[in-house]
């Protein structure tokens, strides 16, 4: 018998030599020997564990591609091992095949309910085990490939200034987010949180959980209105992209975010109308519909100071009212910046 692959506590990686890594968990040495030799000869890299605690430790450290798990062991049984593996985000994706001498329906159901994807009955037939493994390893490889491609796509979005995150509609929990999404959420909403900000949750509920939301989305009649969060002359927009998970309870939804800064717009206003930097800022906020008091709060100036700047803006534009100044600025800015939203 080939000596089972040893695993030293604290080890974080194993040289798999491009082979699939299998963790066998069984308290009977003879069962381990038969399976280990058959898998080793077939090119698999094999780890073994003889009790539940060792199985959890080795699975967490080595992240095997598949686990062959004895259902009945002294101490922590296989059902509990499976539940704990599935409860941990690091190991939840690993397929588990139960090995059991129990053939009663309730035991087989218990194995599947604990997180198993399949089972084989004892006495173990290595060829049957490898056939079952092949099916689930293929599915696991595809899932890893899809996840890798999704990560690459999300990172590409980040590179072009678009951030993305997936939010569970029912409770607002963030399932995952790109690095840029995390940075933008912190910049606009404060400290990092496992939950989407309340304005985002409310917007998502309104357009996904409303009574007629499913019909509207299925019919693709219109993209829901985007959510915009303003911060000074910058704004963060959220677009509902697609459903990314199970539709039960509203499902998980992929949101695409982008930060847009109007600093260039303000600079263009100054150049187009020969305004000072502060006059251009005042005109920008007039276009945004702000009153003098609000503009003063934004710019850290008194309403009287804002009024003086605005009077000079009126003189340079040759207008007498806020409405006329805003309309003139809007027309010019849309010519220079078609994406500008007043």
For residue range 245-264, list pLDDT tens digits in order.
555 556 788 898 888 777 87
Whether 168 and 270 share a structural domain: no
Q: Is 108 part of a structural domain of the chain?
A: yes
Q: Is 273 part of a structural domain of the chain?
A: yes
Whether 37 and 132 share a structural domain: yes
pLDDT of residue 164: 86
Whether 125 and 104 share a structural domain: yes
CATH number at residue 78: 3.40.50.2300
Q: Residue 84 in 3-state DSSP?
A: helix
Q: Report the percent of the chain where pLDDT is more than 90.
A: 32
Selection from 163, 193, 195, 166 nearest residue 180 by Cα: 163
| Boundary-marking domain end, from 261, 279, 314 | 261
Q: Average pLDDT over the chain, rounded to whole?
A: 82
Would the pLDDT of 313 be above 60? yes
**What is the average per-residue pLDDT within 320-331?**
92
The size of the chain, in residues, is: 342
| Boundary-marking domain end, from 261, 284, 306 | 261
Least confident of 143-147, 184-188, 273-277: 143-147
- Where in the sequence is the domain holding 221, given as residue range(s)? 161-261
Whether 250 and 273 share a structural domain: no
Whether 233 and 269 share a structural domain: no
| Boundary-marking domain end, from 261, 288, 310 | 261
**What is the average per-residue pLDDT within 331-338?**
79
pTM: 0.43
**What is the average per-residue pLDDT within 168-191?**
88
Number of structural domains the chain divides into: 3
Residues 6 or more apart in contact with residue 76 via CB below 8 angstroms? 51, 52, 53
Q: How far is CA 78 from CA 60, 129, 155, in A?
A: 16, 17, 38
42-64 pLDDT tens trace = 889 999 999 999 999 999 999 89
87-96 pLDDT tens trace = 888 888 899 9
Q: Is 9 part of a structural domain of the chain?
A: no
d(Cα 271, Cα 286) in Å, to the nearest integer? 17
CATH number at residue 290: 1.10.10.10
**What is the average per-residue pLDDT within 131-154?**
73
210-240 pLDDT tens trace = 655 555 555 544 567 888 898 877 888 898 8
Least confident of 71-75, 146-150, 166-170, 258-262: 146-150
């Amino acid at each position: 018998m080939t000596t089972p692959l040893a695993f030293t506590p604290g080890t974080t990686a194993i040289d798999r030599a491009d082979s699939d890594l299998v963790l066998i968990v069984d308290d009977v040495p003879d069962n381990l020997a038969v399976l280990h030799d058959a898998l080793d000869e077939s090119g698999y890299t094999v780890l073994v564990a003889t009790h539940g605690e060792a199985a959890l430790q080795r699975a967490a450290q080595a992240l095997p591609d598949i686990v062959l798990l004895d259902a009945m062991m002294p101490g922590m049984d296989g059902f509990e091992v499976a539940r704990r593996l599935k409860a941990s985000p690091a190991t939840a994706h690993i397929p588990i095949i139960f090995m059991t001498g129990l053939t009663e329906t309730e035991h087989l159901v218990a194995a599947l309910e604990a997180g198993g994807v399949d089972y084989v009955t004892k006495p173990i037939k290595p060829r049957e085990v490898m056939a079952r493994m092949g099916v689930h390893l293929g599915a696991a490889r595809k899932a890893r490939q899809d996840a890798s491609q999704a990560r690459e796509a999300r990172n590409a979005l980040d590179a072009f200034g678009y951030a993305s995150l997936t939010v569970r509609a029912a409770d607002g929990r963030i399932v995952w987010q790109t690095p840029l999404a995390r940075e933008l959420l912190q910049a606009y909403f404060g400290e990092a949180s496992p939950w989407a900000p309340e304005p985002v949750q409310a917007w998502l509920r309104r357009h996904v959980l409303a009574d007629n939301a499913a019909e509207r989305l299925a019919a693709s009649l219109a993209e829901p209105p985007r959510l915009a969060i303003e911060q000074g002359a910058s704004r963060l927009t959220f677009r509902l992209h697609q459903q990314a998970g199970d539709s039960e309870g509203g499902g998980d939804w992929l949101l695409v975010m982008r930060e847009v800064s109007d600093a260039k717009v303000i600079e263009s206003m100054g150049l187009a109308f020969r305004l000072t930097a502060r006059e251009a800022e005042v005109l920008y906020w007039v276009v945004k519909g702000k009153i003098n008091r609000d503009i003063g709060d934004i710019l850290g100036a008194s309403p009287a100071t804002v009024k003086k700047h605005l009077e000079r803006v009126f003189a340079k534009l040759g207008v007498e009212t806020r409405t006329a100044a805003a309309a003139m600025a809007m027309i010019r800015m849309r010519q220079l910046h078609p994406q500008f939203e007043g």
